[in-house]
Amino acid sequence: MSHSGQVNPVDVIVAKRRGEAHTREVLADFIGASMRGDVADYQLAAWLMAVVWRGMRDDETAALTQVLADSGEQLDLRGLPYPVDKHSTGGVGDTTTLVLAPLAAALGATVAKLSGRGLGHSGGTIDKLESIPGFSATLEREAFLRQAREVGVAVSGQSAGLAPADGALYALRDATGTVESIPLIASSIMSKKLAGGAKHLVLDVKAGRGAFMKSAADARALAEAMVRIGRHAGLTVRAVLSRMDEPLGRAVGHALEVREALAVLRGEARGPLREVVLVLTHELLASAGLVDDRSEVEAALDDGRALERFERWVAAQGGDVAALDRLEIAPDEAHWRASASGTVRRIDAERVGLAVARLGGGRTKKGDAVDLGVGAVLHARVGDAVRAGEPLATLHHRAGRGLEGALAALDGAAAIGAPIATEGVVIEVLR
């Protein structure tokens, strides 16, 4: 098979079916041909299934990642001081970016981040930011880079020009039952990070009921694969494994999560959300050589520097800083109540996310409108003592729309019983 762009798709499928490793040239030809329409969708689907069954070697996964990253435009952040990025594998009540970005910027890093919108039960960072009146998440390239330089933070919607081959593969994976493959997941995530141009990356890899990876072992395997891809590509990558069995924060829903992020930035909220932010920011900035000690990161959060930077960032993107304390929250309230007295042993994050989606806070397909004002605020966490009938959460809804479905999703989502020992939110750090 010569590197003349004359790739025979059947040869590539058969080679992978036999368990052979592809070279970077073969992958570049094959993916390139598929982007030109010279490989049929059913051939690409057959190849994807062969990858799911046979896997990929580390160097092969790294090559695929680079080919996907090279398929479109790439951001050049080299002129910016300490360009860093963070990626989360998704979760519920996960508002870390909103705190981490201004915190990292306050300590000298540049967070120039292209972010997606939420799908399913996890809200996207862009959706959350758009609950701030006036905030615009559509920045032209020049304005994006200028703001990154001046403010230290710029977050813009992901353009279709970034790793377009990954978008094409992903749409097919979704439709052909080939999503669950560590090489395919890792290369998909990391291709967008390579194209995004940051030199230091921290990965927030979730494990548990509300996460894509349900077990810590699967989450670790994914984290290790992504760290190895980064090493091949010359990035410094660290990964933090954290628990996503119960929602990370107490708020689930866009405006509600922004309100909670603000509480963390103001030093009013302590708990797992703050802890994950501190660990991620410390690992990210230590890898970039900007801080030595975690106490430096805590200081920048506690003394208001991160809050000040958040307000500058919001203002730079057209957001009304004065409106941060009166974000539009859906006006009607209902309660999800404890079915028994005892200790909360489990709160199923996925069910809470699903409940909020049913109120109108989630998308089932791209392009769906989202109600940014609905959501849930948890009053109890795992390990807390509750009484029967006491509210476990307040649901913010609009005139009952989706409320029945939301309460049905929450039915049985909490387990209450004998006291249990609670575990820290961070499982381990991979460097």
> What burial letters (b/e) apply to 392-409, b meaning 16+ CB within 10 Å?
bbbbbbeeebbbeebbeb
Contact 362, 370 (CB under 8 A): yes
Q: Which of 113, 173, 243, 312 is catalytic?
A: 173
Question: Is 166 one of the annotated active-site residues of the chain?
Answer: yes
With tokens 């009540």, the residue in question is: 93
Give the strands of the sheet with 153-157, arranged side by side: 153-157, 110-115, 83-88, 200-207, 236-243, 426-430
The C-alpha atoms of residue 86 and residue 200 are separated, in whole angstroms, by: 9
Q: Which of 131, 156, 188, 191 is catalytic?
A: 188
The C-alpha atoms of residue 417 and residue 415 are separated, in whole angstroms, by: 7
Question: Is 71 one of the annotated active-site residues of the chain?
Answer: no
Q: Which of 86, 87, 309, 358 is catalytic?
A: 87
With tokens 């080679």, the residue in question is: 15
The C-alpha atoms of residue 128 and residue 155 are separated, in whole angstroms, by: 12
237: which residues sit within 8 A by CB, 6+ positions away?
A: 200, 201, 202, 203, 226, 227, 229, 230, 231, 287
Question: Is 339 one of the annotated active-site residues of the chain?
Answer: no
Question: Is 173 one of the annotated active-site residues of the chain?
Answer: yes
Q: Which of 192, 220, 250, 358 is catalytic?
A: 192
Q: Which of 166, 204, 348, 371 is catalytic?
A: 166
Report CA torsion sign: 193, 196, 198, 202. negative
Strands 426-430 and 200-207: unpaired
Cα-Cα-Cα-Cα dihedral of 281, 287, 293, 299, to 10°?
Answer: -30
DSSP conformation letters of 211-274: SSS-SHHHHHHHHHHHHHHHHHTT-EEEEEEEE-SS-SSSEESHHHHHHHHHHHHTT---SHHH
The C-alpha atoms of residue 387 and residue 24 are separated, in whole angstroms, by: 60
What residues act catalytically? 87, 166, 173, 188, 192
